[in-house]
Chain A
Amino acid sequence: MMEQGDFDVLDVCLPTYLHKEYAIAAMDKGKHVFCEKPIALTMEDGEAMLEAAAANGVKFSVGHVLRFFPSYRQAQEQIETGRLGVPRLIRTTRNQAFPQWSWENWYQDYRKSGGPIMDLVIHDVDWIIRNVGAVERVFAKSFNGTVSGQEHCILLLRLKNGAIAHVEGSWAYPSGSAFHVTYEIVGTKAQIEFDNLSTSPVIKQTCEEGLHKLEAFSPVEGSAEPYCAELNEFVRSIEYNLPLAVTGQEAIEALKVVLAGIQSSQTGQPVSL
C-alpha cells in the first residue's frame, strides 16, 4: 500500500508499539500522518516521529480526541470565557471493564500498550495540560500487571500554576460494565461537573437469555461526532495549510507526563518534570 498507494494521508490505528515504524515509513513517502494516541511508548520514538515529519515537510497530528468531545469542549469554553475563574481542583475518571476487543490482546501486554496510565488516562492528562496548565509533579499508583484480568491507576498531578488534579483510570470493572467517564473542575468562581452515565439521553435495557443489560448512549452525529471531527480538522489543516488542532509536540508533552506517572508507580515516589 505504501509503495503503490495514491493517497495523501495515513491514519495509523495500529497498536502503540507499531506507531513509529509505520508513521515514519509513510512520512518518508511524503504522506501526512494522523496517529492514534498515545503517540508512542517512549520519548525517543515520539521525537523520532516529530523529526521525520519536519524533515519530510508533512503534517503530523495525534488523536487526542477528548478535545473534540462536545461535553469537554463546553468545559473548555467555561474556562476560556473566565466563568470558572482559575481552575484549581480537577477530578477525572475513565472507568470500564478490561478491554476484550483487542487484536492479539495487545492491551494486556504492557510492552505493547504501556498499560492504563499510558493508554487510558493519557486522554485526561492531555486535556488537563491544554486547558489548565503544564504539569510540575506526578505521583501515581497502578496495579502494574500484578492483578490478573484487572488494571487500575490513579495519577495525582500538581500543575505549575498550583492546581491539583486527581486522574483515575480503570480496566477493573466487571465484564459488561458501562464505560463511565466523569470530570469535576472547581475554579475560583464556579465549578463544572460532567458524568456520561447520568446525562445519557438514551438508555437501552434488554434481557437476553436471562441476562439483563443496560447500555447508555449519548449520540452526537455529523461533523460534531468527535472521531469524525478530529479527522476533518486534520484534513482541513492540510487543505488550507492551517495550524494543527493537536500538534506532535503536544502529544509528546502528554507522553512525558504519563511516563513520569509510570515511573512514579514503580518507585513509590513522585516524579518532578
Chain B
Amino acid sequence: MKNVKIGVISFEHMHAVSYTKALLELPGVELLGIADEDEFRGTRMAYEFKTRYFKDYHDLLNEAVDGVIICTNNKMHCQVSVDAALKGKHIMVEKPFALTAAEARQMIRAADEAGVRIMNAFPMRFNPNIVAAREMVERGEIGDILSITGINHGKIPSGWFLNKELSGGGGVMDHTVHLADLIRWFTNSEYRSVYCESGDLIHNKQIDDCGIVVAEMESGAFVTIDCSWAHHKNYPIWPQVDMEIIGTKGVLEVKAFGQVNHIVDEVSGIIVDVIWNEGGDEGLVREFVEVCRTGKEPLASGRDGARALEVAVAAYQSTDSHTATMVEHIEFDR
C-alpha cells in the first residue's frame, strides 16, 4: 500500500500539534511538510516533527501531498482551502468551517469542482464516549429525542482568537459549532430557529466570552448550547463537552471528557483533572487519512461544517436583534 502524504498548513491554531502527533501514530502515513508564515513557529514544529518546512503554503501545495490539514486562523480558512482544492488536494480544515455562509459555499464549490473531499475538524464525532452515546440513541434505547442540553464550556484562549477580524467572534463562534454539529448528528434533524444571549461578561477582552444558544430543530426538539469561555485559568480541566439528552423512553447523559483522574500536586500547588482516554483527535485524523487514501465521503464533511456555522451566524444575529432568528440554510451548488 502506498503511503498517504499529508501536509499541515499553519500551527496558528494549537490543535495542529495534536493532529500532527496523531498523524505520526498512524501506519502508512508520511508527513511531507509543514507550512507556516511564522518562521520561528514553523521551523520549530518542522524540527520537532522531523519534516520539511515551507514558509509559503503555496510551495507545500505544489508538492506531491494527497491532503492538507489547515490550522490557520479562521479568516484564512476560505482562501487556503480554495487554493488547496485548486491544486487537487483533499482538505481537512479546523473548525469553525469559515467566517460566513458565502465563504463556506465557496469552499465547498471549489472542492466539488476539483473532485477533492473537504472535511471539517469535528473531533467530537470520534470521541469514544460521544460515539457510544450516539449508538445508544441510534438503537432507540432512549426513544425519540425531545430535548438536548449541551455544554461546551472552556477557558478563554489568547492571541488571534480574541481578534474578531481573524476569528469571526468569541465563544459563540469558537464553541457553538461542536455541539451544533453533534446535535444535528444525534437528532438527524436540521435547525429551524436560534435564540442567543451572549457578551463580554467575564474577562473584559472586548469579545463574547459567555454565550447560551437555544435552538429549535425541525424535528420539534429544543436544544441549548452553552458556548462560553467563562472558566477561570486555574479551572481543573480545559475541555468540557457534555450533553443531557431527554428521550421519550429515557435520559442519556454523556461527558466527552468525563474519564479523568484527579491529581493534586503538592510541589507545584496545581490541582488538575487529567483525561486518560482518547479525546477524538486520533479518530478524526484517521478518518482524514482514509479520505485521502480512498476518496470516500468523510464523516464530518464540509457540508456538516457549513450547517454548524449557520447556527453560530444566526446566534450572533439573535444576540443583536433579541429575537429568535430563523436559520438561513446555505444552498449548495450540488
Whether B210 lies near A154 (C-beta < 8 A) is no
Judged by a CB distance under 8 angstroms, whether A256 is at the interface is no
Q: Measured between C-beta atoms, what is the minimum distance from B230 to chain A in Å?
A: 4
Instruction: Write the chain B residue with the least CB distance to A165.
Output: B212
Chain B neighbourhood of A9, CB < 8 A: none
Whether A186 lies near B231 (C-beta < 8 A) is yes
Judged by a CB distance under 8 angstroms, whether B149 is at the interface is yes
Instruction: Write the chain B residue with the least CB distance to A173.
Output: B251
A16 to B198, CA, bound (A): 35
Judged by a CB distance under 8 angstroms, whether B166 is at the interface is no
Chain B neighbourhood of A268, CB < 8 A: 193, 216, 324
Chain A neighbourhood of B149, CB < 8 A: 93, 154, 168
Judged by a CB distance under 8 angstroms, whether A152 is at the interface is yes
Chain A neighbourhood of B198, CB < 8 A: 164
Instruction: State which of B17-25, B220-228, B268-276 sits at the interface with chain A.
Output: B220-228
Whether B146 lies near A89 (C-beta < 8 A) is no
Instruction: Write the chain A residue with the least CB distance to B203.
Output: A188
Known contacts A89-B201, A173-B251, A270-B324; A152 and B232 CB within 8 A of each other: no
Instruction: Write the chain B residue with the least CB distance to A188.
Output: B202
A272 to B198, CA, bound (A): 16
Judged by a CB distance under 8 angstroms, whether B250 is at the interface is yes
Per-residue CB contact flags for chain B residues 162-200 toward chain A (1 = under 8 Å, else 0) read 000000000000000000000000000000010101110
Whether B246 lies near A166 (C-beta < 8 A) is no
Whether A164 lies near B210 (C-beta < 8 A) is yes
Chain A neighbourhood of B226, CB < 8 A: 91, 166
Judged by a CB distance under 8 angstroms, whether B81 is at the interface is no
Chain B neighbourhood of A93, CB < 8 A: 149
Whether A172 lies near B146 (C-beta < 8 A) is yes
Whether A154 lies near B197 (C-beta < 8 A) is no
Instruction: State which of A33-41, A136-144, A221-229 sits at the interface with chain B.
Output: A136-144
Instruction: Write the chain A residue with the least CB distance to B323.
Output: A269
A188 to B210, CA, bound (A): 12
Whether B193 lies near A170 (C-beta < 8 A) is no
Whether A186 lies near B230 (C-beta < 8 A) is yes
Instruction: Write the chain A residue with the least CB distance to B147.
Output: A152
Partner of B216 from A141, A150, A173, A177 at Cβ < 8 Å: A141
Whether A154 lies near B324 (C-beta < 8 A) is no
A91 to B210, CA, bound (A): 12
Chain A neighbourhood of B199, CB < 8 A: 162, 164
Whether A186 lies near B202 (C-beta < 8 A) is yes
Whether A164 lies near B197 (C-beta < 8 A) is yes
Instruction: Write the chain B residue with the least CB distance to A270.
Output: B322
Whether B195 lies near A154 (C-beta < 8 A) is no
Whether A269 lies near B248 (C-beta < 8 A) is no
Judged by a CB distance under 8 angstroms, whether B214 is at the interface is yes
A269 to B318, CA, bound (A): 11
Interface residues of A, dominant DSSP = strand
Whether B246 lies near A172 (C-beta < 8 A) is yes
Judged by a CB distance under 8 angstroms, whether A220 is at the interface is no
Partner of A141 from B211, B214, B231 at Cβ < 8 Å: B214
Instruction: Write the chain B residue with the least CB distance to A163.
Output: B201
A147 to B212, CA, bound (A): 25
Interface size of A as a range: 20 to 34
Partner of B146 from A152, A186, A188, A269 at Cβ < 8 Å: A152
Partner of B250 from A143, A174, A190, A269 at Cβ < 8 Å: A174
Q: Measured between C-beta atoms, what is the minimum distance from A110 to chain B in Å?
A: 17
Per-residue CB contact flags for chain A residues 179-219 toward chain B (1 = under 8 Å, else 0) read 00000001110110000000000000000000000000000
A174 to B247, CA, bound (A): 10
Chain A neighbourhood of B322, CB < 8 A: 137, 270, 272
A93 to B226, CA, bound (A): 14
Partner of A150 from B146, B197, B224, B324 at Cβ < 8 Å: B146
Per-residue CB contact flags for chain B residues 235-248 toward chain A (1 = under 8 Å, else 0) read 10000000000101
Q: Which of A88, A188, A272 has the most CB of B within 10 A?
A: A88
Whether B251 lies near A154 (C-beta < 8 A) is no
Whether B224 lies near A156 (C-beta < 8 A) is yes
Chain A neighbourhood of B193, CB < 8 A: 268
Known contacts A150-B248, A154-B149, A172-B147; A270 and B195 CB within 8 A of each other: yes
Chain A neighbourhood of B248, CB < 8 A: 147, 150
A143 to B250, CA, bound (A): 15
A168 to B243, CA, bound (A): 13
Chain B neighbourhood of A150, CB < 8 A: 146, 246, 248
Chain A neighbourhood of B214, CB < 8 A: 139, 141, 154, 156
Chain B residues near A (Cβ < 8 Å): 146-147, 149, 151, 193, 195, 197-199, 201-202, 210-212, 214, 216, 222, 224, 226, 228, 230-232, 235, 246, 248, 250-251, 322-324
29 contacts across the A-B interface (CB closer than 8 A)? A91-B151, A91-B226, A137-B322, A139-B195, A141-B147, A141-B214, A143-B146, A150-B146, A150-B246, A152-B147, A154-B147, A154-B214, A156-B197, A168-B149, A170-B246, A172-B146, A172-B246, A174-B251, A186-B228, A186-B231, A186-B232, A187-B202, A190-B232, A191-B231, A268-B193, A268-B324, A269-B324, A270-B324, A272-B322
Query: With A147-B146, A162-B199 given, can you name 16 additional A-B contacts, CB distance below 8 Å?
Result: A88-B230, A91-B151, A141-B147, A152-B246, A154-B222, A156-B195, A156-B214, A164-B211, A172-B251, A173-B251, A174-B250, A186-B230, A186-B232, A187-B202, A270-B195, A272-B322
